[in-house]
């Protein structure tokens, strides 16, 4: 039944809110975490990137199904920015999954049945005091504090980017997600489709993730943070390519 994990049908959802926080890491520290079929998507041939995406979805369901059959979930994903060269020679930008989380047990079960994204169920708590919005999970061990209602947004102090134009290239989500089946030497490619995707920079006051801390990354720095709201989104049926 493992074939069911290969995204056997298209899925659609409405992104009420998507927050993506990206960390820059010296490329040598991430190289061993990706399969041989992929290459790190780097900046200045020095920095590789891990994105933490927090997405509040509405009416997630198989594409074409009526909305009332959809479900609302919080999805959290830890992904590495990568590239894959297809057998036809085309270079694709995308993400390699490290770990996925959700606030509903139903999504964990279905996500692990139909994807390779390694879902687990966690708690999610949101609060706002004055102009500081906090999103946290005790079980996952993360806390994010975002400064809201401000027009003065600057890049993180240690960001490798010189401006938001450079930072936008590593804001996610990227067009593709990749999984590798080592036994059959095959690559699963899932393409995401969206329109009017214009991320807005946000000011992160504090961000801490136990999962990233457990990786013992020596040179990890906060690189950028973006938010986008109210976007229809869908994932195409997965396609498999034999890796040469």
pLDDT tens string 147-183: 998 888 999 999 999 999 999 999 876 889 999 999 8
Location of structure tokens 């013992």? 216
Q: Where are the alpha helices (DSSP H) in 180-240?
A: 210-214
d(CA 152, CA 181): 45
Fold that domain 2-121+147-242 belongs to in CATH:
Acetoacetate decarboxylase-like (2.40.400)
pLDDT, tens digit (0-9, with 9 covering 90-100), for 33-79: 999 999 999 999 999 999 999 999 999 999 999 999 999 999 999 99
Q: So what's the pLDDT on residue 110?
A: 95
2 has pLDDT over 80: no
The SS3 of residue 199 is coil
What pLDDT digit, counting tens, does each position of 102-116 carry?
999 999 999 999 999
Three-class DSSP category at 59 = strand
Q: Give the domain ranges of the chain.
A: 2-121+147-242
The radius of gyration of the chain from alpha carbons, rounded to an integer in Å, stands at 18
pLDDT score of 139 more than 90: yes
Q: Tens of pLDDT along 188-220?
A: 999 999 888 889 999 999 999 999 999 999 999
Cross-strand partners of 206: 145
The phi and psi torsions of 155 (rounded to 5 degrees) equal: -65, 150
> What per-residue string of b and e applies to 230-243 under the rule 16 or more CB within 10 Å gives b?
ebebbbbebeeeeb
Average of per-residue pLDDT across 219-231: 95
173 SS3 class: coil
Q: Quick one: pLDDT band at residue 1, thresholds 50, 70, 90? A: low
Tens digits of per-residue pLDDT, 80-92?
999 999 999 999 9
Q: Whole-number mean pLDDT of the chain? A: 94
Q: From CA 22, how far away is CA 95, in angstroms rounded? A: 12
């Amino acid at each position: 039944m493992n074939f069911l994990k290969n995204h056997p049908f298209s899925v659609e959802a409405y992104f009420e809110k998507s927050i993506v926080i990206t960390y820059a890491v010296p490329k040598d520290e991430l190289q061993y975490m990706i399969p041989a079929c992929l290459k790190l998507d780097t900046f200045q041939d020095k920095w590789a990137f891990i994105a933490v995406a927090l997405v509040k979805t509405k009416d997630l369901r198989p594409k074409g199904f009526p909305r009332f059959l959809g479900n609302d979930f919080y999805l959290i994903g830890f992904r590495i920015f990568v590239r894959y060269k297809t057998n036809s020679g085309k270079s694709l930008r995308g993400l390699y999954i490290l770990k996925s989380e959700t606030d509903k047990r139903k999504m964990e079960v279905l996500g692990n049945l139909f994807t390779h994204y390694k879902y687990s169920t966690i708690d999610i708590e949101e609060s706002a005091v004055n102009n500081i919005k906090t999103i946290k999970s005790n079980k996952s061990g993360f806390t994010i504090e975002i400064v809201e209602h401000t027009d003065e947004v600057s890049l993180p102090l240690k960001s490798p980017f010189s401006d938001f134009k450079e930072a936008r290239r590593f804001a996610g989500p990227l067009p593709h997600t990749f999984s590798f089946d080592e036994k059959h030497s095959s690559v699963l490619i899932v393409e995401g489709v969206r329109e009017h995707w214009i991320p807005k920079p946000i000011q992160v006051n504090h961000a801490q993730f136990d999962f990233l801390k457990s990786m013992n990354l020596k040179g990890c720095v906060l690189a950028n943070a973006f938010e986008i709201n109210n976007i229809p989104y869908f994932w195409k049926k997965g396609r498999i390519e034999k890796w040469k």
